[in-house]
């Protein structure tokens, strides 16, 4: 599933053709994706100007002139394709390939910017929903989300308080969207490796008895910031040079240090360990047992 850096890269790719432009026509080519579309979905979008395009966790949020917000989630296989008369491109690059079959083009926004924005989703786990801006804080899909990992509220002290007393593993805590929003399996594996912390370590060890952050918490927050910023930067660089609809493996997998590298030597100088994989909370975890403690 696309994680925060991929979604942020998509946002940046859509922003030039979507923000400030009017939705001349909206098409929902089927009745549902993961959830049914609202009955007036297309009608509420038609003629509206997109006044801003933001991201919250793994959600894209388009503010509309009507005061509504279009909430969009890529799901497992969703992607947006920007089509102009002279080109087509898919903003963002993903570790797992995106679909290219036009039979899975389920939503199309015809924009006054001259672009058609097409949402393609072979597995149909993505979804879109229109929400009144005044009701956004009560929206079940957003309510309870933790702080943004790149926001000012997310620091070692906040993470320590959230994990104090938790009996779950450190990896499970980081995947809990109530603790921190937007992190997924890939970047949790990478951040834990950079912080030299075992995914099996108890989350509670990030806090001392006074619920203050330990050095582990500080190192982990630094690692999360570093890996997310690097991934977003790589996505931006890739996006500037990307002109054709691709769906091929993308930018950041070239920088993976443990994810999907089972059986390869650990990259830590002098470690000599081998990257291992095990199943944790139903997902593959990649780590170096020798240097991650």
Exposure of 272 by Cβ count < 10 A (0-12 exposed, 13-18 middle, 19+ buried)? exposed
Section 259-286 average pLDDT: 95
Considering only residues 5 and 37, tell me which one the structure prediction assigns the higher pLDDT. Answer: 37
DSSP 145: -
- Cα 147–Cα 38–Cα 10 angle in degrees, nearest 5: 45
The answer to whether residue 93 is catalytic is no
In whole angstroms, give the CA distance from residue 3 to residue 5.
6
Q: 47 pLDDT band (50/70/90 cuts)?
A: very high
The yes-or-no answer on residue 143 being catalytic is no
Say if residues 274 and 209 touch (Cβ distance below 8 Å). Answer: no
- Write the pLDDT tens digit of every residue in 174-218: 999 999 999 999 999 999 999 999 999 999 999 999 999 999 999
Q: Among the listed ranges 18-22, 194-198, 258-262, which one has the minimum average pLDDT value?
A: 258-262
Mean pLDDT of the region 5-27:
94
Q: At a CB cut-off of 8 Å and minimum separation 6, what does 15 contact?
A: 53
Res. 79: pLDDT tops 80: yes
pLDDT at 99 over 80: no
The answer, yes or no, to whether residue 240 has pLDDT greater than 50, is: no
Tell me, what's the pLDDT at 243?
Answer: 29
pLDDT band (50, 70, 90) for residue 238: very low
Confidence class for position 93, pLDDT limits 50, 70, 90: low
Catalytic residue among 161, 200, 218, 283: 283
Q: Which of 12, 58, 194, 201 is catalytic?
A: 58
Residue 134 CA to residue 120 CA, distance in Å, equals: 29
What φ, ψ does residue 274 adopt, rounded to 5°? -120, 135
Residue 241 has pLDDT above 60, yes or no: no
**What 3-state class would DSSP assign to 135?**
helix
Q: What is the pLDDT of residue 77?
A: 87
Strand, helix or coil at 61? Answer: strand
Mean pLDDT of all residues in the chain?
90
Q: Dihedral sign for Cα 46, 51, 53, 56, please.
A: negative
State the catalytic residue, choosing from 2, 5, 147, 213.
2
Q: How far apart are CA 16 and CA 25, in angstroms?
A: 18
Q: Identify whether 3 is a catalytic site residue.
A: yes
Q: Name which of 61, 178, 68 is nearest 128 in CA terms.
A: 61
Which residue out of 3, 8, 93, 190 is catalytically annotated?
Answer: 3
Q: How is the beta sheet containing 79-84 ordered, strand by strand?
A: 23-28, 105-111, 116-120, 79-84, 87-89
Which of 85-99, 139-153, 212-226, 242-256 shows the lowest per-residue confidence on average (mean pLDDT)?
242-256
Mean pLDDT of 164-171: 96
Tell me how far apart the alpha carbons of residues 286 and 187 are, in angstroms, rounded to a whole number: 11
Query: 2 an active-site residue?
Result: yes
Which of the pair, 34 or 243, is modelled with greater confidence?
34
In whole angstroms, give the CA distance from residue 4 to residue 11.
10
| CA nearest neighbour of 117 among 60, 189, 197 | 60
Give me the pLDDT at residue 130, please. Answer: 98
Q: What is the pLDDT of residues 210-224, one digit of tens each?
A: 999 999 999 999 999
DSSP-H helix ranges across the chain? 4-18, 41-45, 156-163, 170-175, 185-195, 215-241
């Amino acid at each position: 599933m696309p994680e925060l850096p991929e979604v942020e890269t998509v946002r940046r790719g859509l922003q030039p053709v979507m923000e400030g432009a009017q939705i001349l026509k909206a098409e929902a080519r089927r009745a549902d994706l993961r959830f049914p579309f609202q009955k007036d979905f297309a009608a509420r979008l038609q003629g509206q100007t997109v006044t801003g395009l933001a991201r919250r966790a793994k959600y894209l949020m388009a503010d509309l002139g009507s005061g509504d917000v279009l909430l969009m989630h890529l799901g497992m296989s969703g992607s947006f394709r920007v089509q102009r008369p002279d080109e087509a491109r898919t903003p963002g690059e993903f570790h797992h390939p995106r679909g290219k079959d036009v039979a899975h083009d389920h939503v199309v926004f015809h924009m006054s910017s001259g672009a058609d924005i097409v949402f393609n989703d072979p597995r149909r786990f993505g979804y879109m929903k229109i929400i009144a801006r005044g009701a956004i804080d009560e929206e079940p899909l957003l309510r309870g989300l933790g702080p943004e990992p790149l926001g000012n509220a997310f620091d070692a002290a906040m993470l320590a308080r959230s994990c104090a007393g938790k009996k779950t593993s450190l990896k499970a805590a980081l995947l809990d969207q109530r603790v921190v929003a937007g992190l997924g399996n890939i970047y949790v594996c990478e951040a834990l490796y950079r912080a030299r912390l075992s995914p099996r370590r108890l989350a509670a060890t990030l806090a001392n008895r006074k619920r203050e952050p330990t050095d582990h918490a500080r190192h982990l927050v630094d690692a999360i910031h570093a890996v997310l910023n690097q991934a977003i930067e790589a996505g931006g660089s890739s996006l500037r040079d990307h002109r054709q609809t691709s769906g091929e493996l993308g930018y950041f997998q070239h920088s993976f240090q443990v994810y999907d590298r089972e059986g390869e030597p650990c990259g830590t100088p002098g470690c000599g360990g081998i990257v291992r994989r095990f199943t944790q909370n139903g997902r593959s975890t990649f780590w170096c047992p020798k240097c991650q403690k």
